[in-house]
Amino acid sequence: MRIKEKNKRFFNPSIFPKSRKGLFLAEETLKIVIAVIVIAFLVYFLVSLYFSNRNAEEMKFAQESLTYLAEQINLKSAEVNIYNPDGWSILSWPYGGKMPLSCSNLGWKNCLCICDKPFIATNENYLENCDETGSSGICVESSFSVIGDGSQQPIIIENPPVTIKIDYGNKTISPA
- The pLDDT tens digits of the residues spanning 109-122 come to 888 888 877 656 66
The residues with which 111 forms a beta bridge, in sequence order, are: 93, 141
pLDDT tens per residue, range 14-39 = 555 555 555 567 778 889 999 999 99
**How far does CA 141 lie from the centroid of its chain?**
25
Per-domain boundaries in the chain:
45-175
On the CB side of 8, how many CA atoms lie within 13 Å of its CA? 7
- Say if residue 7's pLDDT is above 60: no
What mean pLDDT value characterizes the chain?
Answer: 78
